[in-house]
Structure 1
Amino acid sequence: MAEMTSTGELSTKDLNRVLGRKDLMSIAVGQIIGAGIMSLTGVAIGMTGKSVPLSFMVAAIFKIIMAIPFIIIGGTVRMRGGQYTQVAILAGQKWSGIYMITYIFSNVALAMYAISFAQYAQSLIPGIPLMPVSIIMLTAFYILNIMGVQGAAVVQNAMVVLMASGLAIFVAFGFGHLQPGIFSGSDFMTNGVRGIMGAGALLGFAAGGAFVVINFGAEAKNPTKDIPFVIVVSTLAVSGVYAFMSIVAANVLPISEVAYQPLSLVAKAVMPNWAFVFFTVCGAGFALSTTLNATLAWVTKPVLQAVEDGWFPKFLGAINEKYKTPHVLLTIFYLIGLIPIITGLSIGTIANAALLIMQAFNIVLSIALTRLPKVLPEEYARSKVKVSTPVLYTIAYGAAACAAYQFYLLWGFSTNVEKIYVAVILVMAVLFGCVMNKKVKMTISYEAD
Structure 2
Amino acid sequence: MSLFRTKSIDAMIATGQAPGGLKKVLGPVDLVLMGIGAIIGTGIFVLTGTGALTAGPALTVSFLIAALACGFAALCYAEFASTIPVSGSIYTYSYATLGELVAWMIGWDLLLEYGLATSAVSVGWSGYFQSLIAGFGVKLPVVLTAAPGSVPGVSTWLNLPALLIMLVLTAMLSLGIRESARANNVMVAIKVAVVLLFIVVGIGHVKPANWQPFMPFGTGGIFSAAALVFFAFIGFDAVTSAAEEVKRPERDLPIGIIGSLGVCAVLYVLVAAIMTGIVPYQKFAGIDHPVSLALQYAGENWVAGFVDLGAILGMTTVILVMAYGQTRVLFAMSRDGLLPARLSKVNERHGTPVFATWTVGIVFSLIAAFVPLGVLAELINIGTLAAFTLISVAVLILRKTRPDLPRAFRCPGVPVVPLLAIAFCVMLMAHLTPATWKAFGIWLVLGLVVYFGYARRRSLLHTAPAIGGAAAATARDAR
1:198 to 2:220 alignment: no
Partner Cα distance (1:317, 1:341) in 2: 25
Partner Cα distance (2:18, 2:446) in 1: 27
Partner Cα distance (1:123, 1:34) in 2: 16
SS in 1 for 2:346: coil
* Alignment-derived partner of residue 320 in structure 1: 347
1:148 to 2:176 alignment: yes
Structure 1 stretch displaced more, 56-65 or 394-403: 394-403
* Alignment-derived partner of residue 6 in structure 1: none
Q: 1:101–1:428: 8 Å Cα contact kept in structure 2?
A: no
CA RMSD across the alignment? 2.3
Matches within 5 A, 1:48-447: 48-106=55-113, 107-126=115-134, 127-128=139-140, 129-130=145-146, 131-185=159-213, 188-261=214-287, 262-263=289-290, 264-270=292-298, 272-281=300-309, 283-345=310-372, 347-378=373-404, 380=405, 382-386=406-410, 391-410=413-432, 414=433, 416=435, 418-435=436-453, 436-442=455-461, 444=471
SS in 1 for 2:351: coil
- Cα pair distance change 1:331/1:427, threshold 3 Å: same
Post-superposition offset of 1:387? 5.9
Deviations 1:270-322 (A, max 9, x none): 354432222211x2111111111111222211211111111111122222211
SS in 1 for 2:46: helix
- Cα pair distance change 1:208/1:316, threshold 3 Å: closer
* Paired AA for residue 250 in structure 1: T
Q: Number of residue pairs matched?
A: 424
Partner Cα distance (1:387, 1:279) in 2: 37
* Alignment-derived partner of residue 15 in structure 1: 22
SS in 2 for 1:140: helix
- Cα pair distance change 1:25/1:70, threshold 3 Å: same
TM-score by length of 1: 0.88
- Cα pair distance change 1:234/1:267, threshold 3 Å: same
Q: 1:79–1:85: 8 Å Cα contact kept in structure 2?
A: yes
* Alignment-derived partner of residue 150 in structure 2: none
Q: 2:39–2:235: 8 Å Cα contact kept in structure 1?
A: yes
Partner Cα distance (2:383, 2:258) in 1: 24
Gaps of 5+ in 1: 1-9
Post-superposition offset of 1:361? 3.9
Partner Cα distance (1:152, 1:168) in 2: 24
Structure 1 stretch displaced more, 46-55 or 352-361: 352-361
Structure 1 stretch displaced more, 296-305 or 332-341: 332-341
User: Percent identity between the aligned chains?
Assistant: 22
Post-superposition offset of 1:415? 6.1
Post-superposition offset of 1:173? 2.2
Q: 1:318–1:328: 8 Å Cα contact kept in structure 2?
A: yes
SS in 2 for 1:152: helix
* Paired AA for residue 181 in structure 2: A
TM-score by length of 2: 0.83
Post-superposition offset of 1:260? 4.9
Partner Cα distance (2:299, 2:92) in 1: 47
* Paired AA for residue 334 in structure 2: V
1:40 to 2:47 alignment: yes
Gaps of 5+ in 2: 1-16, 147-158, 462-467, 473-479
Post-superposition offset of 1:164? 1.4
Partner Cα distance (1:161, 1:358) in 2: 26
- Cα pair distance change 1:376/1:324, threshold 3 Å: farther
Post-superposition offset of 1:358? 2.5
Post-superposition offset of 1:120? 1.0
- Cα pair distance change 1:420/1:357, threshold 3 Å: same
SS in 1 for 2:247: coil
Q: 1:52–1:196: 8 Å Cα contact kept in structure 2?
A: yes
